[in-house]
Structure 1
Amino acid sequence: MATNDKLTIQDLAAYARNVLRDATIPELPNHYRGKVRENYELSDGRRIIVATDRLSAFDRILTAVPLKGQVLTQIARFWFDRTRDICPNHVIEYPDPNVLVCRNLKIMPVEIVVRDYLAGTTSTSILSMYKAGRRDMYGHHFPDGMRPNEKLPQPIITPTTKAFDAGHDEELTPDQIVTQGLLSAEQWAHVSKLALALFARGQEIARQHGLILVDTKYEFGFDADGSIVLADEIHTPDSSRYWYAESYPARFATGEKPESFDKDFVRSWVVARCDPYADAIPEIPDEINLEAARIYISVYEQITGEKFPLPAADQPVLERIRANLERYF
C-alpha cells in the first residue's frame, strides 16, 4: 500500500467513484444493516462488522465519503488498543481494513454520550436544546448566560435511547433509565464510571496530539456472563467531536466556531442549504465528499501519528472485502 505526504482533494480524486455504499455479502449469514455498518452474525458467537462509506446524520444517510469506512475502522482499532486496560472490548481480529470480527454481544438499550462543552448541531445536542430555551436536560441543570461551545465545569453524561431500528434516539435521564428498567442502578453506576474513564483517556491522548475531544458516544453490550463490554466504535470522527486545541481559546473569545475535526463539515454544509429534518437533502457534490475524505484521513494521521495507508484506487472496495472474508463463507 502507498502512503501519503500532505493529501489534497486532487490526490483523492481517483477514489471519488470507488466508494462502499453497500456491503451486502449473500454468503454471510444473519445480515443486519445499521446506519453505517453491515453486520453478520456467525453461528459460533462471533459477529462480522463491515464499515461502509455511508455518512449518517440527522437520522438519515446524507452521502458516501470515499475511504471513510477504512478510516473509522482503523481509528477505532487505535483507540480499542489504548483503552483495553480501562474496559474490555469486543475485538477479535481485523481481516480487512474495513472489517472487524468481534464477539456478539447483547447491546445495551442505552447510548452513553459524554460531553465536556456546550456544543452540537443535532436535535439531541445540548447546544441546540439550550438555544431553544431548555435549561434542564438529561438530568442536568444548565445556568443562564452560557455561550455556544463553552467548556462545562466537568464532563457529563447525556444518555439517549438506543434506536435499534435506525430511528431517532430519544433523550433520557439517569432516573428514567433505572425506573424504566433499561439498566439496573448498579449497571448504570458501573457503565457511567467506565464511560467517564474512557473519555478522560481520550481527552488525554487527544491533548497530546493538539486536539480537544469535545464529546463522544459510547455503545456498550453485555457478554454471556453479564459483564459490560465496549462495542461498536470508539473516539472516531463519526462518534466524536474534535476541535483544534491551539485555535480554540481565540475563536471562543471572539464567538467564532471552533476549528472542527469531525463530520460537522458535511453537516454544516447541509444545514446551510436546507432543514435536514424536514427537507430533501441536496445532492452533495464530489468536492465536498472528497474534502470530507481528506478531513477523515487527517483525523487518522493526527490522532495516530501515522500516515494513512491508501488502498489501490482501482480495486473495488467490496471486491477486496469479499476476498478477505472468503474463509468465513
Structure 2
Amino acid sequence: MGSVKDLVVLKKPEGGRTGIGRFIFSDRYSVFDWGEMPDHIKNKGTALCIIGACLFEKLEEMGIKTHYLGVVEDAKSKRLSELKEPGNGMEIKLLRVIKPEIKENVYDYSVYQNERSNFLVPLEVIYRNSLPEGSSVFKRLKEASLKLEDIGLDEMPWPGQKLENPILDVSTKLEATDRYVTWEEAKNIAGLADDEVKEIKRITLLVNELITREARRVGLVNEDGKIELGFDEDRNLMLVDVLGTPDECRFTFEDMPVSKEVARIFYRNTDWCKEVEEAKKKDRVGWKKLVRATPPSLPNRLEELISLLYQACCNEITRKRWFATPPLKEILLEIKEVL
C-alpha cells in the first residue's frame, strides 16, 4: 500500500457493499518522500496500530462511525480489551476508491456526481491548532490563494501562533500531488451536499478535541493533524485510514517534535539530504533518479530512542503498559540531549 503500511484485501468492496481488509502496520518509515529508509524502528508498527485502535474505539463510544473492526489476534478481529498482547494488524471495512480521470492535464471529478455510497471521499481534512514557522498557510495567504475569512481569522497570523480556535483546511487526496482547495471546491469535487460539508467539519473538530485531550494528558501538545473519510452503504460519513498517531499528528513536547520528525532532524544535517533538496529543485517528478547518495543509517542510540518514543506514546495514550519502556518524558529529555 505504501512505504510504511500494507493492505491485505479479504473481501473486495463492490457496488453498494463494503469489503473487509487488514492494515499491516510495519516498522518501516519514510522521510522527505524517499520511501523506505535503511533502518526499521522496532515495534513502531505495533504501537501505531494500538494507538489508532484505541482512538477509534473512543470515537465510536462518542457516536462517530469509523471503518475500524478490531485488532487481529489468532486470525480473529478483537477489541483492545480482548487482546492478550499487542499486534500490528487492524481489520477494517473497505470502501471503493474511485480515482478521477485526467482530461487535458486537469483532474475530472464528474464521476462523483453520480456516486451515492460505499466510496472514499477524495479529500484530506486538516485541523490546525497552531501555525508554526514555515506553515503552508503563510505562503498561501501571501499568494492570495487563501483568504483570512476562509480560515476564520480577522487579522494576519504570525509564525508560532497558538490559535484560539482551530483552523480547518482541506486538500485533494487522490492526485499525484495533493493540493489545497477551498471548501466550495471540495464540495464540488466530492459531490457533497451543504449539510455533509457541515458534518465533515463537525466530525473533524470532535476528532481534534479528543486527540488534543488525550495528548495533553500525557504531556504532549497536539499542534495539527489530518483525517480521511468515506461514505458507507447508506451514505453515512465514517472515518477511515488511521488517526491520532505520532505519524498522523504533529505532537510536540516543550517545542520538540514527538514523531519521525526526530529522524528528519538528524537527516537534515547529512550530505544525502542536501542532495535530495538539490534534486527536487531540478526535477519535481523524477528527482529521486538524480540522487546518487544513499541515506545513512541512524545512530544506534537515536534509533533505540525513537523506538522507545513510539512505544511509550502507545503505553501512555492508551493507559496500558503494552511495552516495557521508561516514561515518555524521560525518553524525550534524552532525545533532546542527543539532538
Partner Cα distance (1:145, 1:128) in 2: 8
Map 1:58-137 to 2 at 5 A.
58-61=32-35, 63=37, 64-84=40-60, 85-96=62-73, 97-105=87-95, 106-119=119-132, 125-126=135-136, 129=139, 133-134=142-143, 137=146
Of 278, 283, 288, the match for 2:296: 283
Alignment-derived partner of residue 210 in structure 2 = 201
The answer to whether 1:302 aligns with 2:312 is no
Q: TM-score, normalised by structure 1?
A: 0.70
Number of equivalences: 259
* CA deviation after TM superposition for structure 1 residue 98, in Å: 0.7
CA gap of 1:102–1:115, structure 2 versus 1, over 3 A, is same
The answer to whether 1:146 aligns with 2:196 is no
Contact 2:311–2:323 (CA<8 Å) still a contact in 1?
A: no
Point out where structure 2 has 5 or more consecutive residues left out of the alignment. Answer: 13-18, 74-86, 96-118, 280-290, 325-339
Point out where structure 1 has 5 or more consecutive residues left out of the alignment. Answer: 1-32, 248-257, 311-329
Contact 2:4–2:36 (CA<8 Å) still a contact in 1?
A: no
Greater share of residues in helix: 2
Contact 1:95–1:101 (CA<8 Å) still a contact in 2?
A: yes
Map 1:265-276 to 2 at 5 A.
265-273=262-270, 274-275=273-274, 276=276
Contact 2:225–2:249 (CA<8 Å) still a contact in 1?
A: yes
CA gap of 1:195–1:286, structure 2 versus 1, over 3 A, is same
Structure showing greater relative contact order (alpha-carbon pairs closer than 8 Å, 6 or more residues apart): 1
- Give, as a single letter, the amino acid of the residue that structure 2 aligns with 1:103: K
Contact 2:122–2:190 (CA<8 Å) still a contact in 1?
A: no
Map 1:129-278 to 2 at 5 A.
129=139, 133-134=142-143, 137=146, 139-140=150-151, 143-144=155-156, 146-147=158-159, 149-163=160-174, 167-181=176-190, 183-244=192-253, 247=254, 258-273=255-270, 274-275=273-274, 276=276, 278=278
The answer to whether 1:53 aligns with 2:21 is no
CA gap of 1:303–1:34, structure 2 versus 1, over 3 A, is same
* CA deviation after TM superposition for structure 1 residue 228, in Å: 0.9
- Give, as a single letter, the amino acid of the residue that structure 2 aligns with 1:101: E
Alignment-derived partner of residue 23 in structure 1 = none
* CA deviation after TM superposition for structure 1 residue 142, in Å: 8.0
Partner Cα distance (1:269, 1:127) in 2: 26
Runs of 4+ in structure 1 displaced over 6 angstroms? none
Contact 2:123–2:171 (CA<8 Å) still a contact in 1?
A: yes
CA offset digits 1:261-311 (Å, max 9, x no partner): 12211222233332555544622325243332122122223322332336x
- Give, as a single letter, the amino acid of the residue that structure 1 aligns with 2:52: A
CA gap of 1:285–1:112, structure 2 versus 1, over 3 A, is same
CA gap of 1:291–1:185, structure 2 versus 1, over 3 A, is same
Partner Cα distance (2:63, 2:44) in 1: 27
Secondary structure at the counterpart of residue 46 of structure 1: strand
Secondary structure at the counterpart of residue 180 of structure 1: helix
Secondary structure at the counterpart of residue 151 of structure 1: strand
* CA deviation after TM superposition for structure 1 residue 112, in Å: 0.9
